[in-house]
Amino acid sequence: MSNAIEIEAKVLLSQEDYRKLIKLFPNAPRYMQTNYYIDSPERVLAKSGIALRIREKNGQFEMTLKTPLSQGLLEKNVPLTINEFCSYRDFNEFPKCDLKRFLTMLDFEVGDLKILTSLATERLDVEYKGGLLSIDRNSYSGQVDYEIEFEYNNMEDAEAILGEFLRENDVPCVFSTLRKTARAMAAISKK
């Protein structure tokens, strides 16, 4: 299991602003990834501030648990095989991994945790001023939204650099703390 700290500033975009920004990087590669969000029907993880997902990208699968820190999120990542993913998706067999032990240690019943929804992202990544700029088109539960994220080593500078980039490109800058997980889960709650 690997650990990382994720610190990123993010802004939701209009479709028009999204199109404007991706035109700035015509040669940057784009790729698709799908996040499968996991919780109990009662949202026991979300109530504890925890997010759990499996990400599929380029035929690879990784389970990630995110917990809040004073600045950013602590990420615990475990690679999965396609068979482990399919067993979980199709038969709710939680993968035998360090995250299972970690969640059990925190008194969560992993048998209650299921894939509740998914979100597909078309992403463009660009290294920018010592950080990573990601411009996303997200599809989930019949909805589409757009966002830009800037991952950096501290939140204050991440917001300053992203804010300056957006102002230079005449795009409104209203920082959002609403993560993809929350948006995707809220969408299924409305159904």
Structure tokens at 23: 């035109």
pTM of the full structure = 0.91
What is the number of structural domains in the chain? 1
Q: Is 170 helix (H, G, I), strand (E, B) or coil?
A: coil
Nearest CA to 149 among 7, 22, 10, 2? 10
The CATH number linked to 117 is 2.40.320.10
Distance from the Cα of residue 112 to its chain's centroid: 22
Segment 18-59, tens digit of pLDDT: 999 999 999 999 999 999 999 999 999 999 999 999 999 999
Domain span at residue 178?
A: 2-189
Segment 77-122, tens digit of pLDDT: 999 999 999 999 999 999 999 999 999 999 999 999 999 999 999 9
